[in-house]
Chain A
């Protein structure tokens, strides 16, 4: 069934964001087992089932207009959430080309791209935009190329330069991160920007992941899921605004948690940018309230077990220690305990 784009809902203030029953069904629930396992879980990003979030490289869903509006709001207050170091210019154009090409192929009802040499015409019917420009000439666009295209797409983007046997976060558009800051982490190596993650370094997880990522080849992207929890459907849980949203974690009660607490899943997608040899790291975030989530009984049961058994260190890192006991207690009603979680 073709997606219908909803009118704009909000990820702040009155938090009018909701998932339709269709959006709930296609939510990328991240736990394939009843038990939580810590693993690298990277896989080739082969096209998934039609209608699923894995069908296309860049997933556009019913929240498209809301997310675009939210990004514009963040940028109007904090324009530096988009950052491109001078040596990343070509990677920015690579990104624009990859996004325009895939969006117009995969969603012809909303996007179209006409190319005549370096004279390009981009049409975005979903936002009612049309732009003729010269590919490679930043002055022919209203914004720098990375900013121009990522203002029209869901999800955050980091562009990683590959040199000296490492990956360097030297460009990006990050307006909805799970408690990190592009402005602070920019210029860091893969090892450095993962420094705050507990446990995994000792396990050698990042060393292995880095080798794998550096070998990603053109047209053979990979993906993985990551997760945390967020209070309210708030997309901008950046470090920058932590002093504005952090207090919401202590407002969780047994009565309000079903509406307030959200599972936040990141579909991370990594693709080689052909001309620059940089790596595109896209982070597409999906939010679902517990109330919406428990409409799928197997998910409710699994989430109960995962949260119950999560090591304290990880719960602290993910920032959910404060309200975890309440949530586990509430989710217990969906878990038959002795049996497997069944559909």
Chain B
């Protein structure tokens, strides 16, 4: 069962950089629910071809429920969600969102939080920092971006006694040394990563080299699903065949024909949309299923069938 959507008005749009816009969303008919730092919402985008649902981190102050703020980077290779937001959505427009859910919460047991952001990955940490500064929680932020392109919020990030800020502008050749960041940390340190896949991998690798167990690492891995090849899917129980287009996900194709599956992240991490399949080749793109389950189940929010065989789902 998916929670009922919330109607919001886009009350303000601000261009932060040539490729990043901030959207302020205000509730129409009811108060906005409270949220914790690291939470995201799903935004429904009625693009001309179909309705997309994209997940965005909330960056606004969790203590302020008069509005939610998100920031969206225009993605060149995207399936149209970010382009729609950048080019079609206007102040005063009405949109639908899901209530916030959190798959990237700070650990209550950590004594020092190391936040590592790449580009638009700064967004969840904006909410983290607001809360950590208010509560006096020890943290440090490392933020890599490209000056003049993805430098959103750089000026707003003021260092504090309990929260240092280090920025790295690639235009100026400033490089983040993950090894230096992780070395010499206290035993109570845990690290949070949000940014491109290669940043995540680099931190994971360095942490492993230094002997940090995985439990010290937290990451926000989801992104809008990547496009792929078109493929066919057959629903065994309903005896129905659907075509999934190159730039839509299997989950979206199912939803378009009124088959609603539970889902939270739409990015292959939460495990909600797990669906059994009976035959066919699957391109697994999620971060959830253990390899042992991959021969029986898939995550339709990101994973796809191969283009030359029909995928048969147990639905």
Please say whether chains A and B are actual partners in one complex: yes
Per the 8 Å Cβ criterion, residues 234-278 of A in contact with B are 274-277
Q: Within the assembled complex, what's the spacing in Å between the Cα atoms of A308 and B270? A: 42
Q: How large is the interface on B (under 10, 10 to 19, 20 to 34, 35 or more residues)?
A: 20 to 34
**Can you list, as one digit per residue, whether each of B171-194 has a CB less than 8 Å from chain A (1) or not (0)?**
000000000000000000000000
Give the residues in chain A near B271, CB-CB below 8 Å: 211
Q: Is B101 an interface residue (CB 8 A)?
A: yes
By the criterion CB–CB under 8 Å, are B264 and A218 in contact?
Answer: no
Q: Chain A residues with Cβ under 8 A from B135's Cβ?
A: 90
Give Cα A188–Cα B108 distance, bound, in whole angstroms: 15
**Residue B305 at the A interface, CB < 8 A?**
no
State the CA gap A162–B106 with chains docked (Å). 10
Instruction: Report the minimum CB–CB distance from A211 to chain B (whole Å).
Output: 7
Residue total for A at the interface (Cβ-Cβ under 8 A): 18
A88 to B108, CA, bound (A): 8
Contact A217 B101 (CB under 8 A): yes
What's the Cα separation between A163 and B36 when bound, in Å?
Answer: 14
B191 to chain A, nearest CB (A): 15
A215 in contact with B272 (CB, 8 Å): yes
Contact of A218 with B99 at beta-carbon distance under 8 Å, contacts A164-B215, A275-B36, A275-B62 already known: yes
By the criterion CB–CB under 8 Å, are A277 and B109 in contact?
Answer: no
* B156 interfacial by beta-carbon distance below 8 Å: no
Question: Among residues 68 to 88 in chain A, which have CB atoms less than 8 Å away from a CB atom of chain B?
Answer: 87-88
Whether B108 pairs with A87 at a CB distance below 8 angstroms is yes
Is the beta-carbon distance between A220 and B36 smaller than 8 angstroms? no
| CB-CB contacts below 8 Å: A161-206 with B | 161-164
0/1 per residue, A204-243, Cβ < 8 Å to B?
0000000100010111100000000000000000000000
Query: In the bound complex, do residue B36 and residue A276 qualify as a contact, i.e. CB atoms below 8 Å apart?
Result: yes
Q: Does B33 contact A (CB under 8 A)?
A: yes
A274–B102 Cα gap in the complex (Å)?
10
Contact of B272 with A220 in the complex, beta carbons under 8 Å: no
The yes or no answer to A108 lying at the interface (CB within 8 A) is no
- The answer on a CB contact under 8 Å between B102 and A219 is no
In angstroms, Cα B63 to Cα A90, docked, is 12
Interface residues of B in 27-64 (CB under 8 A from A): 33-36, 38-39, 62-63
Q: Please indicate which of the listed interface residues B35, B36, B63, B99 has the most CB atoms of chain A within 10 Å of its own CB.
A: B36
User: B34 and A277: CB pair below 8 A?
Assistant: no
Q: Which residues of A contact B101 (CB under 8 A)?
A: 215, 217-218
**A206 to B: closest C-beta gap in Å:** 17
Are B99 and A220 interface neighbours, CB within 8 A? yes
Give the residue among A219, A276, A277 with the most B Cβ atoms within 10 A: A277
Interface pair B34/A44, CB less than 8 Å apart: no
How close is A165's CB to chain B, nearest CB, in angstroms? Answer: 9
Q: Could you tell me the distance between the alpha carbons of A220 and B38 in the complex, rounded to whole angstroms?
A: 19
The CA of A104 and the CA of B175, in the complex, are separated in Å by 54
Give the Cβ gap from A162 to chain B, nearest Cβ, in Å. 7
Asked if residues A274 and B34 are in contact (CB atoms below 8 Å), the reply is yes
The reply to whether B33 and A163 form a contact with Cβ atoms under 8 Å apart is no
Task: Give Cα distance in the complex from A44 to B135, angstroms.
Answer: 33
7 smallest CB-CB distances across A and B, nearest first, come from: A274-B34, A277-B36, A87-B108, A218-B33, A277-B105, A220-B3, A219-B33
Spell out A's residues near B (CB within 8 Å): 44, 87-88, 90, 161-164, 211, 215, 217-220, 274-277
Q: List 15 A-B contacts (CB under 8 A).
A: A88-B108, A163-B105, A211-B271, A217-B3, A217-B101, A218-B33, A218-B35, A218-B99, A220-B3, A274-B36, A275-B35, A276-B36, A276-B108, A277-B38, A277-B102
- If A218-B99, A274-B33 are given as contacts, then 6 extra A-B residue pairs at C-beta distance below 8 Å, sorted by A number, are A44-B1, A162-B105, A217-B3, A218-B101, A275-B63, A276-B36
